[in-house]
Every structure is written in C-alpha cells, then in structure tokens.
Structure 1
Amino acid sequence: MNVILLEKIQNLGNLGDLVVVKPGYARNFLVPYGKAVWATDEARVKVDERRIELAKLEEERLDVARAKSDIIPSELLVTRKAGEEGKLYGSVTALDLAEILNARGIAVGRSEITLPQGPIKEIGEVTVDILLHPEIRCTILVKVIEEA
C-alpha cells in the first residue's frame, strides 16, 4: 500500500516521501493520526504544494522537542514500597515515569518512553530512553529507592 508521509517517521521515511507499507499500518495508524495520506495523484500534487508548510510544521515540532530535551532532568528519583531482596511491590512503568515528568511540567507521553527490560521491578538504577522526536533522544537515569 502506497502512502505519502506528512512528517518524518523513524525507520520509514521523511516528509513528502512515497513509501510502501502494510495496509493495516496505513489504515490503522499512519492515516488516522495524520502522519500520512493515501498516495493518489491528487495527494501528490497537494503534498508538493504544502511541502514548505509541512516542513515548517516539522521544524516547529523539532524545536519543541529540543526545548523539552533541555528541561528533562538527567536523573529521576522514584520511591516505591519494596520487600526483602529489593523486589518492588508492583513495578515502575513508562506510564509512571510519564506521570512524574508531567507533574514536573514536562509534557511527555508514555509512548515516548522506552524501558529496555520492560517495567522496573527491583530497587536500583536503570537507564531509560525518551524519544521526543525521531531526531531527538534523551537518556535519563531512573533511581528506584525503597519507600521509608
């Protein structure tokens, strides 16, 4: 299925690129979320006309991501109840980290946070990636400590 990208998508293409994707990916994600349009002759003409406007929008998104990356802390301290041997009651998920950052005034969605080994289930330190934009990646150190 051919679509024309309206923004840069990691591992797929850049703004205005004609790419071939699976029908479900186009139908369920790219087109509904405004990341791509179906590749018709009319769409190609419209995208060519709007390319400058779309490039400007993409640059604004990049600027917002750069601004976020400047205010994201390098370390994040999380307290949780833990049992013997440092096992947490529950876990620390990407949603928990997003809520902590949002409470500090930094708008980050849980889908932007990547936990390398899945949810954190033990006391300790874990390096977490935050993908703010396909070109902007932040790395933070999450320190999980036992609640007193």
Structure 2
Amino acid sequence: MELILLEKIQNLGDLGDIVKVKSGYGRNYLIPQGKAVPASEEAKEQVEERRRELAKLDSERRESAEAKAALLPERLTVKRLVAEEGKLFGSVSPVDVAELLQAAEIAVQRSEISMPDGPIKTLGEHTVSIILHPEVQSSIEVVVEAENEPEEPGTPAADKNEQEPPAETPAE
C-alpha cells in the first residue's frame, strides 16, 4: 500500500514522503491516526500544495513537544509491595508512569512512553524514555521503592505464612 506521510514517522519517512507499507499498518494505524493518506495522483498534488502547511504544523507540534519535555521531572518515585528477594507484586508499566505524570499535571499518553525491556519488575532505578515527537525524546529515572519490607526466606515473618492455621473452636 502506498501512502503519503502527513508527519515525520520514525523509521518510516519524513513529511510528504511517499512510502510503501503493509496494508494493515496503513489502514489500521497510519490513516486513522491522521499520519498518512492513500497515495493517489490527486492526493500527491494536494500534498505538494499542503507541504508548507504540514511543515508548519509539524514545527508547531515539535515546539509543543519540546515545551512539554522541559516540564518533565528528572525522577519519579513509585512505591510497590515487594515479595521475597526484592521482586515486585505486579509491575510498573507505561500506564503507571503516565498516571504518575498525570498526577504531576503533565499530560503524556502511554503510547509516548517507551520501556524497551518491558514493564519494571524489580526495585531500584530504571530509565524510561518519553518520545513526545519523533525529534523530541526525553529520559526520566523511575525509582521503585518498597512499600513494605521485603520478606527474606527463613525469617519469622515468612515462616508465619507457612504455619498451619489455628484449630477452629466449635461455635456455641
């Protein structure tokens, strides 16, 4: 499927480029998101006319993304329940990072948050990339702290869970 890009898309092309993509990617993502239009002769002529307008729009989006990137904090702290050996119950996902940024009054979509190694499942500091625009990327440190004390195997607290429950007394 041939499409004309209406904005710069990472690893695909620049504004106004005619690119060949798989039809599902074009129909289900690029066209509905307003990032591309089907490449017809009429569309090619219109894009040439609109290229300046699109370049201006892309410039405005980039400036907006740069302003938002300047507002991003350097660090976010997350508290999670911890199991044995410092492993988290659950994980910290892009949705969680987006909610933390939303709480700080910074609107970031979860699709703009990149976690190349997948969700965070351990305590400590982790780097998360925020891609606000193909040309504007920022990194923040996400610090995952224990909400409770991690239980070591063999400690009384851990052994308490393994003991049999007390015998029930008959109800009178």
TM-score category, normalised to shorter length: over 0.9
Write the distance in 1 (CA, Å) between the matches of 2:117 and 2:34.
Answer: 31
Give, as a single letter, the amino acid of the residue that structure 1 aligns with 2:53.
Answer: E
Task: Indicate the residue corresponding to 2:160 in structure 1.
Answer: none
Write the distance in 1 (CA, Å) between the matches of 2:118 and 2:124.
Answer: 14
Task: Indicate the residue corresponding to 2:103 in structure 1.
Answer: 103
Q: What is the CA deviation profile of residues 24-81 of structure 1, one whole-angstrom value per residue up to 9, with x for unaligned ones?
A: 1111111111100110011011111111111111011001110011010111111111
TM-score by length of 2: 0.83
1:75 is aligned to 2:75: yes
- Aligned-residue CA RMSD in angstroms? 0.9
Write the distance in 1 (CA, Å) between the matches of 2:85 and 2:31.
Answer: 48
Secondary structure at 2:10 match in 1: coil
Write the distance in 2 (CA, Å) between the matches of 1:41 and 1:103.
Answer: 47
Counterpart mapping for 1:16-27 below 5 A? 16-27=16-27
Write the distance in 1 (CA, Å) between the matches of 2:116 and 2:27.
Answer: 29
Give, as a single letter, the amino acid of the residue that structure 2 aligns with 1:122.
Answer: T
Counterpart mapping for 1:42-121 below 5 A? 42-121=42-121
Q: Kindly tell me the number of residue pairs found equivalent between the two proteins.
A: 148
Task: Indicate the residue corresponding to 1:15 in structure 2.
Answer: 15
Task: Indicate the residue corresponding to 2:2 in structure 1.
Answer: 2
User: Which has the larger displacement, 132-141 or 81-90?
Assistant: 81-90
Write the distance in 1 (CA, Å) between the matches of 2:108 and 2:21.
Answer: 28
Query: Which runs of 5 or more structure 2 residues have no equivalent in the other structure?
Result: 149-172
Moved over 2 A (4+): none
Q: What is the CA deviation profile of residues 86-110 of structure 1, one whole-angstrom value per residue up to 9, with x for unaligned ones?
A: 1111111010000110111111111
Give, as a single letter, the amino acid of the residue that structure 2 aligns with 1:125.
Answer: E
Bigger radius of gyration: 2
Task: Indicate the residue corresponding to 2:145 in structure 1.
Answer: 145
Write the distance in 2 (CA, Å) between the matches of 1:116 and 1:52.
Answer: 35
User: Which has the larger displacement, 53-62 or 83-92?
Assistant: 83-92
Q: Per-residue deviation at 1:15?
A: 0.6
Give, as a single letter, the amino acid of the residue that structure 1 aligns with 2:32.
Answer: P
